[in-house]
């Protein structure tokens, strides 16, 4: 709630309500263009997709499903889909926390007053997400090839006895995808933390210093709490991005081996465009993703968005 | 209310700004970029309601400037000799993008955005026509004589006895080997001609032992070679009614076992991606490859290996009824869309060039390696020219000869589902799963997708 | 010197991160100067084929046109998105109310569905209005994103209310406060938002390729897709195109990153 507390003038209740009411209206006016655009560009197609998810059939030959939730029921029997759900959650649980912690540490280091070559570090770490997917996937596939650089390095360090067939075993293929995600998106999240850090009150850091807090304590008890709104934002975004993950699954491993690294969105694309087109079924997959993201976002909001 | 008024102004200004950027991009699209549009293309309207420009201009979507686009433009030149007003606007669109556009336009019933002619991959032809018959015009009234094509090639685009595609790109399979490596092990290309797979394995093991070079490579988990093996014996993943025949398919089981043996004996090196597959022979790690004849274009990018390659037919499967030394992989066919501005013109153009001009094929073969499926063209002397890269062998005549012997392949609407399921099965079998169980699971996966 | 020493673990960490981040980029740059065969052989040293790659790329593809179309789409998307989303994010936070919180929750739903599922109805919408092949159709679905609104809302939590109240007392209208005080104060947030939006718009692939039905409006990602679609891919040329396509985002980041570094001290106090 926006309050006018601190206003020196003594306002009557009626005037106060009038002023607040008007400000409230102004606030709504500020939201209208964005809300209208989202309504037309997102919600309208989403409603269409919801209707579509209740229809079954192939190509343009779509009819109301019998029963209406047939597509959803069919998903539970679809072994490939169930596998993609498992894969996606493996990515989510491992990659998102690791990435956000790394991004936090990096932004903290980069925000230090006495750090040299700031611009260089910042640019270098951000750049991966600016690189086209084509070159990124080529490089990663080359690096993780059986006779590739990663295996050469591991063999030289005696960490493995024989070359690892990275992209052709379920767990190592998933590892490559997670490494790829970390590589591409850590710098991206770091940018938000950096922007967030700029908006912080510098006095709190000075206070912490005076109180004799070391760098780790300052980071944990001063920086992180103040960055909470931004951490919440990146957590929701990363969860959302990972549950809708398509690029890495498509370009790095092609979902292989044997669908063991394929994501839900990749499967959605398959049933819509690559295989026999079943748009009703695809729409049902997209609503499963929506519900999963919504539940996780709701939990994150509840945990992280408390206004103190 | 002052604020509200200002907001309205802001919104109006934003809208104005938007429309201005929209307009300016339209202008500069044809202005600054010069040269991106051919004479016909430049006439496309800004609103984009239709891409036809009146007169005789036909719009074509296809990919690969060095191959399909080049061929289409040459065909236009041939046709223009007799029809000076004829105009063709060939637009470059990657195959994946064509498939996405076809699906989107069909699904949203926006057929008016379709071009006049589009190239479709043979393996995807049945799927597209069966699910979206409204996208295409059939060749029933075209007057084209399809008996001048090998049946295996036209079969990809025949649905219920009607021709929907005009075969262009040849997918006949070849076995290409490095003759210098074979010679090092004491063999010639003749030793690898008209052989069976068991003979091939004996020879390849010997080559591997003597030279250290495997003869084959492939993408791990790809079912390309399995599919070629199946087709070489006239088998497929589907029966005539389109039902999957993956479980209990003896030919498939033998093909999978053969693939497994090749991998285990180190004769076939599995790599992770298409780029790496190309790299294996371009950089000389392996001494051969088996694929559709279009792979030869990639082989020839290794200019330092010129004169060291030659081709022959495929090994034949042992103890399989109907097994041959011939197969195919890929290829593509032209389709006339339902949005064609002038069906008679489009059909006549294709009939007079791709299905009627030896001169046309004689032009495109030497410069692009585009091999005719149209049988009369293959009798031309151009096909008998020796090719220096392949040690002076007349490889085009060989390929055309192989093409005539390729057994038909029943792709069906669920070709990609079948292929994916078999790929999964192969991966599992290579990793130690029981073949019968893995193929049974594949059968169930395809049945589920069809249900 | 001692200070640098104390920061040693920090520098070591940053060095590892930077090397890992830059290596694939280095490969991209080096590959653009090599022949296709060398790229496939993972050659890691610069070659002498750059000029030939440039000639081949410009001969086979209309790079200038694709760069132009990509730039128009990305710049228009970024400008409109910044205005629309920042004013909304500001409205959500500064005029905070229960109802607006609920609306935000609803709007968030819009980003939770994969685009592949909403693409067909959206296409139909624009086709019905005769807007295929238009810049407007490319940018409209991308200008109002829950993500950007949320970014501005979250950032606004640190916007000092004392300044707001002081401005109100000075008689500034709400819109003027937003334009004159909020925007300059939140420069680093705008810089982050602009970088991210430009990057997403520049690399956007699926929607432009569908809505720009006519191939002459092709953008850089489509051009790159075409380069890999033939029977023979020239990997040197491909990497050069990929390098060119990556440059604008890099430049935008380099230009805007000064804003990330600006302290709050100068901007507000």
Lowest average pLDDT, out of A112-116, A189-193, B78-82, goes to A112-116
DSSP code string of A84-109: HHHHHHHHHHHHHHHHHHHHHHHHHH
CATH architecture label of B173-327+396-450 = 3-Layer(aba) Sandwich (3.40)
Q: Is C21 on the interface with A (CB under 8 A)?
A: yes
Helix H, strand E, coil C: the string for chain C is CHHHHHCHHHHHHHHHHHHHHHHHHHHHHHHCCCCHHHHHCCCCCCCCCHHHHHHHHHHHCCHHHHHHHHHHHHHHHHHHHHHHHHHHHHHHHHCCCHHHHHHHHHHHHHHCCCHHHHHHHHHHHHHHCCCCCCHHHHHHHHHCCHHHHHHHHHHHCCCCHHHHHHHHHCCCCHHHHHHHHHHHHCHHHHHHHHHHHHHHHHHCCHHHHHHCCCHHHCCHHHHHHHHCCCCCCCHHHHHHHHHHHHHHHHHHHHHHHHHHHCCHHHHHC
B contact test, residue of C39, C41, C133 with most B CBs within 10 A: C133
Count CB-CB contacts under 10 A for residue A210.
8
Q: What is the mean pLDDT of chain C?
A: 88
Closest CA to B391 of B286, B305, B326, B297: B305
pTM passes above 0.80: yes
> Alpha-carbon distance B353 to B361, whole Å?
8
pLDDT at position A305 is: 67
pLDDT at position B105 is: 93
Closest CA to B290 of B315, B265, B258: B315
Yes or no: say if B355 and B434 are a contact pair by the CB < 8 Å rule.
Answer: no
Count the residues in chain A.
308
Asked if C118's CB is within 8 angstroms of A46's CB, the reply is yes
Closest alpha carbon within chain C to B303: C37
pLDDT of B134 strictly over 50: yes
pLDDT tens digit sequence for B24-33: 333 333 333 3
Q: What is the mean pLDDT of chain B?
A: 86
Q: Residues C38-62: what's their mean pLDDT?
A: 90
For the domain made up of B53-171+330-379, give the CATH fold: D-Maltodextrin-Binding Protein; domain 2 (3.40.190)
pLDDT of A2 strictly over 90: no
C contact test, residue of A108, A131, A238 with most C CBs within 10 A: A131
Q: Residues A197-219: what's their mean pLDDT?
A: 80
Chain C contact set for A191 (CB, 8 A): 192, 195-196, 260
List beta partners, residue B176.
B289, B311
> Alpha-carbon distance B152 to B234, whole Å?
10
- Sorted by where each starts, the structural domains of chain A and their CATH numbers stand as 1-53 (no CATH), 74-304 (1.10.3720.10)
> Alpha-carbon distance B432 to B429, whole Å?
5
pLDDT band at B38 (very low <50, low <70, confident <90, very high): very low
Please list the residue range(s) of chain B that carry CATH number 3.40.190.10: 53-171+330-379, 173-327+396-450
- Coil, strand, or helix at residue B40? coil
Angle, CA C13 vertex, CA C8 and CA C16 arms, to 5°: 125
> Alpha-carbon distance C196 to C256, whole Å?
11
* Distant-in-sequence, close-in-space partners of C267: CB < 8 Å, separation ≥ 6: C184, C185, C187
Yes or no: say if C94 and A27 are a contact pair by the CB < 8 Å rule.
Answer: yes
Yes or no: say if B170 and B371 are a contact pair by the CB < 8 Å rule.
Answer: yes
Asked if B416's CB is within 8 angstroms of A274's CB, the reply is yes
Chain A contact set for B221 (CB, 8 A): 168, 254, 256-258
Q: Residues A151-179: what's their mean pLDDT?
A: 89
pLDDT band at A307 (very low <50, low <70, confident <90, very high): low
> Alpha-carbon distance B433 to A282, whole Å?
31
pLDDT tens digit sequence for B85-121: 999 999 999 998 999 999 999 998 999 999 999 999 9
Residue holding tokens 């997102």?
A: A42
pLDDT at position A48 is: 93
> Alpha-carbon distance B351 to B332, whole Å?
17
pLDDT tens digit sequence for B139-174: 999 999 999 999 889 999 999 999 999 999 889 999
Q: Which DSSP symbol is given to B57?
A: E
Angstroms from A73 CA to nearest CA on chain C? 19
pLDDT tens digit sequence for B288-333: 999 999 999 889 989 999 999 999 999 999 999 999 999 999 889 9
Q: Is C166 on the interface with B (CB under 8 A)?
A: no
Q: How far apart are the first and last CA of chain B?
A: 61
> Alpha-carbon distance B357 to B351, whole Å?
8
pLDDT at position B12 is: 44
Asked if B282's CB is within 8 angstroms of C40's CB, the reply is yes
pLDDT at position B411 is: 78
Counting as contact any 3 or more CB pairs under 8 A, the partners of A are B, C
H or E element at residue A193: helix A170-198
H or E element at residue A15: helix A13-38
pLDDT at position B5 is: 45
pLDDT at position A15 is: 54
> Alpha-carbon distance A152 to A172, whole Å?
16
B30 or B5: which carries more pLDDT confidence?
B5
- Residue B330 Rama label (left phi>0; alpha psi -120 to 50; beta): left
> Alpha-carbon distance B238 to B419, whole Å?
11
pLDDT at position A3 is: 41
A contact test, residue of C30, C61, C116 with most A CBs within 10 A: C116
Question: What's the half-sphere exposure (Cβ side, CA atoms, 13 Å) at A28?
Answer: 9
pLDDT at position C253 is: 87
Asked if C228's CB is within 8 angstroms of A134's CB, the reply is yes
ipTM value of the model? 0.88
Q: Residues B253-274: what's their mean pLDDT?
A: 92
Which of 154-183 (C) contact A at CB < 8 A?
154-155, 157-159, 162, 165, 169, 174, 178
pLDDT at position A70 is: 94
pLDDT of A216 strictly over 60: yes
Asked if C40's CB is within 8 angstroms of B18's CB, the reply is no
Asked if A257's CB is within 8 angstroms of B220's CB, the reply is yes
Closest CA to B301 of C230, A139, C27: C230
Residues of chain B with pLDDT > 70: what percent? Answer: 88
Across B384-420, b (16+ Cβ under 10 Å) vs e yields: eeebebbbebebbbbbbebbeebbbbbbbbbbbbbbb
Residue holding tokens 């709490």?
A: A225
Chain A contact set for B103 (CB, 8 A): 272-273, 277
pLDDT of A1 strictly over 80: no
pLDDT at position A217 is: 84
Which of 66-105 (C) contact B at CB < 8 A?
68-69, 72-73, 75-76, 79-80, 83-84
C264 or B443: which carries more pLDDT confidence?
B443
> Alpha-carbon distance C82 to C189, whole Å?
10
- Sorted by where each starts, the structural domains of chain C and their CATH numbers stand as 2-268 (1.10.3720.10)
């Amino acid at each position: 709630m926006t309050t006018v507390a601190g206003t020196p003038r003594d306002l009557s209740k009626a005037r106060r309500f009038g002023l607040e009411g008007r400000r409230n209206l102004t606030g709504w006016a500020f939201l209208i263009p964005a809300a209208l655009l989202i309504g037309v560009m997102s919600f309208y197609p989403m409603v269409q997709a919801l209707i579509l998810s209740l229809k079954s059939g192939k190509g343009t030959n779509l009819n109301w499903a019998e029963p209406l939730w047939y597509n959803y029921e069919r998903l539970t029997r679809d072994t490939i889909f169930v596998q993609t759900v498992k894969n996606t959650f493996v990515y989510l649980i491992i990659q998102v926390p690791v990435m956000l912690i790394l991004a936090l540490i990096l932004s903290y280091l980069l925000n230090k007053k006495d750090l040299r070559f700031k611009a260089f570090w910042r640019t270098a770490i951000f750049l991966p997400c600016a690189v086209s997917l084509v070159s990124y996937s080529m490089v990663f596939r080359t690096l993780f090839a059986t006779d590739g650089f990663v295996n050469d390095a591991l063999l030289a360090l005696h960490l493995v006895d024989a070359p690892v067939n990275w992209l052709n075993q379920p767990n190592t293929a998933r590892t490559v995808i997670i490494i790829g995600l970390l590589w591409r998106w850590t710098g991206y999240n770091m940018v938000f933390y950096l922007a967030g850090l700029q908006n912080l009150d510098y006095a709190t850091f000075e206070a912490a210093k005076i109180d004799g807090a070391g760098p780790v304590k300052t980071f944990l008890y001063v920086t992180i709490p103040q960055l909470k709104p931004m951490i919440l934002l990146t957590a929701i975004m990363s969860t959302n991005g990972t549950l809708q993950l398509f690029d890495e699954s498509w370009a790095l491993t092609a979902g292989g081996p044997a669908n063991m690294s394929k994501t839900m969105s990749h499967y959605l694309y398959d049933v819509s465009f690559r295989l026999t087109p079943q748009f009703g079924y695809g729409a049902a997959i997209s609503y499963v993703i929506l519900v999963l993201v919504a539940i996780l976002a709701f939990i994150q909001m509840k945990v992280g968005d408390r206004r103190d | 209310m002052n604020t509200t008024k200002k907001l309205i102004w802001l919104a109006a200004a934003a809208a104005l700004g938007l429309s201005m950027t929209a307009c300016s991009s339209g202008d500069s699209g044809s202005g600054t970029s010069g040269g991106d549009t051919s004479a016909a293309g430049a006439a496309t309207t800004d609103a984009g309601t239709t891409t036809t420009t009146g007169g005789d201009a036909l719009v074509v979507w296809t990919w690969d400037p060095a191959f399909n686009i080049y061929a289409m433009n040459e065909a236009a030149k041939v046709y223009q000799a007799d029809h000076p007003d004829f105009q063709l606007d060939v637009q470059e669109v990657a195959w994946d993008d064509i498939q996405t556009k076809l699906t989107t336009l069909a699904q949203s019933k926006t057929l008016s955005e379709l071009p006049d002619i589009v190239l479709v991959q043979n393996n995807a032809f049945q799927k597209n026509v069966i699910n979206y018959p409204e996208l295409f015009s059939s060749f029933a009234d075209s007057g084209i004589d399809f008996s001048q094509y090998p049946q295996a090639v036209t079969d990809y685009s025949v649905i219920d006895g009607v021709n929907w595609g005009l075969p262009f790109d040849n997918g006949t399979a070849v076995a290409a080997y490095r003759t210098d490596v074979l010679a090092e092990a004491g063999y010639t290309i003749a030793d690898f001609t008209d052989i069976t797979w068991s003979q091939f394995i004996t020879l390849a093991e010997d080559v591997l032992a003597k030279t250290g070079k495997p003869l084959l490579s492939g993408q791990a988990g790809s079912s390309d070679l399995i599919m070629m093996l199946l087709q070489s014996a006239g088998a497929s993943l589907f029966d005539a009614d389109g039902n999957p025949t993956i479980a209990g398919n003896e030919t498939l089981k033998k093909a999978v076992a053969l693939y497994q043996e090749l991998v285990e004996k180190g004769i076939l090196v599995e790599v992770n991606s298409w780029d790496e597959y190309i790299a294996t022979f371009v950089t000389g790690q392996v001494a051969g490859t088996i694929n559709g004849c279009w792979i030869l274009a990639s082989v020839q990018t290794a200019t330092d290996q010129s004169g060291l390659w030659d081709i022959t037919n495929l090994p034949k499967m042992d103890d399989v009824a109907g097994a041959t030394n011939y197969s195919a992989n890929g290829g593509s066919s032209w389709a006339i869309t339902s949005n064609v501005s002038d069906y008679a013109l489009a059909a006549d153009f294709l009939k007079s060039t791709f299905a009627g001009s030896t001169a046309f094929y004689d032009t495109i073969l030497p410069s692009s390696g585009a091999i005719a499926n149209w049988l009369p063209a293959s009798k031309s002397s151009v096909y008998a020219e020796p090719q220096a890269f392949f040690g002076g062998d007349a490889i085009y005549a060989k390929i055309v000869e192989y093409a005539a012997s390729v057994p038909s392949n029943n792709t069906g609407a669920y070709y990609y589902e079948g292929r994916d399921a078999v790929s999964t099965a192969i991966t599992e079998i290579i990793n130690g799963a029981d073949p019968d169980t893995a193929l049974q699971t594949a059968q169930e996966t395809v049945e589920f997708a069809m249900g | 010197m001692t200070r640098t020493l104390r920061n040693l673990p920090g520098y070591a960490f940053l060095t590892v991160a930077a090397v890992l981040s830059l290596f694939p980029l280095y490969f991209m740059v080096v590959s653009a100067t090599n022949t296709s065969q060398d790229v496939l052989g993972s050659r890691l040293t610069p070659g002498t084929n750059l000029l030939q790659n440039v000639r081949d790329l410009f001969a086979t593809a209309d790079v200038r046109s694709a760069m132009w179309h990509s730039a128009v789409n990305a710049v228009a998307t970024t400008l409109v998105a910044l205005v629309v989303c920042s004013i909304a994010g500001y409205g959500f936070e500064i005029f905070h109310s229960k109802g607006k919180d609920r609306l935000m929750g609803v709007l968030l739903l819009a980003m939770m569905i994969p685009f592949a599922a909403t693409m067909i109805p959206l296409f139909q919408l624009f086709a019905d209005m005769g807007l295929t092949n238009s810049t407007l159709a490319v940018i409209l679905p991308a200008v109002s994103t829950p993500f950007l609104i949320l970014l501005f809302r979250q950032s606004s939590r640190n916007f000092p209310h004392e300044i707001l109240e002081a401005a109100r007392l000075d008689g500034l209208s709400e819109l003027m406060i937003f334009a004159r005080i909020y925007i300059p104060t939140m420069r680093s947030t705008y810089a982050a938002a602009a970088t991210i939006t430009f990057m997403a718009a520049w690399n956007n692939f699926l929607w432009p390729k569908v809505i720009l039905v006519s191939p002459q409006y092709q953008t850089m990602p489509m051009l790159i897709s075409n380069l890999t679609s033939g029977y023979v891919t020239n990997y040197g040329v491909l990497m050069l195109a990929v390098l060119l396509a990556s440059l604008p985002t890099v430049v935008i980041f380099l230009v805007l990153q000064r804003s990330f570094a600006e302290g709050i001290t100068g901007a507000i106090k």
